[in-house]
Structure 1
């Protein structure tokens, strides 16, 4: 047997090249979560810039004259180091969390997600363990070097992600706790933690402004819809391995409808924020864009056949696309205010 065959993750399914390994790693990192994490890092940075700009604009002429030139230069010059450190730290934390989940769910994923590298044999268990351990350590080290708020955010996220997947706690076995883990991290910890990190880096007041609370509440509720919807296409494997989910308890149609109405409530809420002008955003831009997304959501929902696993998976990815868009639309509305 050749040396290359001996080093294969599983006989008959070697990772034959560097590019194939990178593609397997891309699948292992769950691309939709990587994109969502990257956009949240960028989106909160743009919001912090908008708030910093507004703070400078509201300083009176006399007060401006009393502020040192160096301080003004520091506040008005937006270094990319805080956002780059946050991006790397959050990406590594993301890979740790989704990778640990795959390490514990290999047999389930062979039924629900056979394309994932551990389930398909592209990665061995040892390779997965090495990636998870390395990215977890790297996430904490990068966050520690970048700032205290980022370190706190990453550490709390990794702790919750570990409790979600790893026995004996394994909170994903319980539908309420599983959903709470997902939307607390994505909805609250990431948004507030990133804003406080950027605010600290820009030497701003550590008070969280209304626009950040609005986005946090929107993402919190929206992520709940993602958390319960994600189990619809995985019902077969979850039932076989005694993983209780809302889909198994309530049925796919009920969970589909609940997710749809939860996202609808998110959009109606953000439209109301624009109409009532309760935050520093461009109201017209905010209302028009979210009305369009709401109409798109309902039109797209009419085409979903809940008997087709592929159709459910495609709609799930569509929901993630809506999630991505919010981290672009909302910061733009803040910058246009």
Structure 2
């Protein structure tokens, strides 16, 4: 029996090939962004619920009543639309960066050859259309948020605009979508669905500002491990302009400012949140950040990538910690 026939899945057993395709699709969707998107959808919903319960003094029977099957439909619709939009944006970027990813991220499906260019194009087209259709069926604020996000994501990756070539515009695209458009758009969507006032309360502004600044740190840090491929294909980034050490330090201090700012919010009680929970959790995360950063070797690409994933984990935690602080107020 030939080597190729040994490695091929049996005709009657399509599971291995199906699993391989699903795993490739999972990598194509960039899991860390999928997790971040899912948590933002859930976190903003919990904040909207907290605000809807009598000035969020306590979780009452009204809160339980609101979390019913009908009130969960806007969440499910937002989740599907945002996930599809997420796949469209990261997928389009991979379609345009195949040669660069062969150097920087050879594990991605298009760069490794697991997906053909045509497969990538079909996935991107399908998820982009589905995101808009689901958003249109779910609510006007969600449709606006998704449409704006897709437009910015397209301008980020697609020639001739291709804003990712310019470090300032590239960073602006990333943190404007994740920091501002997603948070405000999701809250307005939930507020509309729950028939609340369309006024954005202070707690949402606090979270939005925190995520906005934090995402800037992510936007500039993500290029540190990709310096080799970016330089080869003339993609100008802050890392290439300033050097990896400077960008690493800048990202670290930006996140530190985020945590100090949120701690100050708790001390001054400028929003309806539980101050003790907010202060203690963010002090703990700040200490963890600095301890973790002291062990990073900038000459080790895998160590940089691991710290980048650690930053994303801190990002994930905020969409859990902040809503809990609102619910505990």
TM range (shorter): over 0.9
**Alpha-carbon offset, residue 306 of structure 1:** 0.1
The alpha-carbon distance between structure 1 residues 48 and 74, as it changes in their structure 2 partners (threshold 3 A), is closer
CA contact (8 A) 2:59 2:327 kept: no
Alpha-carbon distance in 1 for matches of 2:60, 2:126: 49
Deviations 1:253-303 (A, max 9, x none): 000000000000000000000000000000000000000000000000000
Which of 109, 115, 121 is the aligned partner of 1:117? 109
Distance 1:14 1:172, change over 3 A: farther
Q: Which residue of 1 aligns with 2:60?
A: 60
Deviation at 1:249, TM superposition (A): 0.1
Q: Which residue among 219, 224, 230 is the counterpart of 1:238? A: 230
On the 8 A contact 1:49/1:78 being kept in 2, the answer is no
CA pair 194-245 structure 1, distance change in 2 beyond 3 A: same
Q: Does the aligned pair in 2 maintain the 1:99–1:128 contact within 8 Å?
A: yes
Cα shift at 1:2: 14
- Which sits farther off after the overlay, 271-280 or 3-12? 3-12
* 2:158 counterpart residue number: 166
**Residues 251 and 59 of structure 1, relative CA distance in 2, 3 Å threshold:** closer
Match of 2:9, SS state, is: coil
Deviation at 1:56, TM superposition (A): 8.3
Judge conservation of contact 1:43–1:331 (CA < 8 Å) in 2: yes
**Contact conserved, 2:145 with 2:186, CA < 8 A, in 1?**
yes
**Aligned residue pairs, count:** 329
Cα deviation for residue 79 of structure 1 reads 1.4
Contact in 2 for aligned 1:89/1:142 (Cα 8 Å): yes
Q: 1:5 to 1:48 in 2, by over 3 A?
A: farther
**2:53–2:59: 8 Å Cα contact kept in structure 1?**
no
The residue number in structure 2 matching 1:65 is none
Q: Give runs of ≥4 in structure 1 deviating > 6 Å.
A: 1-15, 56-62, 71-78
* Alignment deviations for residues 181-225 of structure 1 (CA, whole Å, 9 cap, x no partner): 000000000000000000000000000000000000000000000
Instruction: Give the direction of change, closer, same or farther, for the CA distance of 1:4–1:34 in structure 2 (3 Å limit).
Output: farther
In 1, distance between residues paired with 2:286 and 2:60? Answer: 41
- Change in Cα spacing, 1:329 to 1:72, as seen in structure 2 (3 Å) is closer
Q: In the superposition, relative to structure 1, how do residues 56 and 240 fare at CA in structure 2: closer, same or farther (>3 Å)?
A: closer
- The alpha carbon displacement at 1:8 in A equals 11
Comparing 131-140 with 77-86, greater Cα deviation is found at 77-86
Aligned-pair CA distance for 1:54: 2.6
Would you say the 8 A contact 2:110–2:116 is kept in 1?
A: yes
In structure 1, distance between residues paired with 2:233 and 2:111: 15
Over the aligned positions, Cα root-mean-square deviation in angstroms equals 4.0
Q: Per-residue CA shift, 1:108-147, capped at 9, x if unaligned?
A: 0000000000000000000000000000000000000000
Whole-Å separation in 2 of the counterparts to 1:196 and 1:162 = 24
Distance change >3 Å, CA 267–CA 56, structure 1 → 2: closer
- Deviation sequence 1:161-190 (CA, Å, 0-9, x none): 000000000000000000000000000000
Q: Deviations over 1:90-113 (max 9, x none)?
A: 000000000000000000000000
Deviates more, 1:287-296 or 1:16-25: 16-25
Alpha-carbon distance in structure 1 between the residues aligned to 2:117 and 2:12 = 16
Q: Tell me, which stretches of 5 or more residues in structure 2 are unaligned? A: none
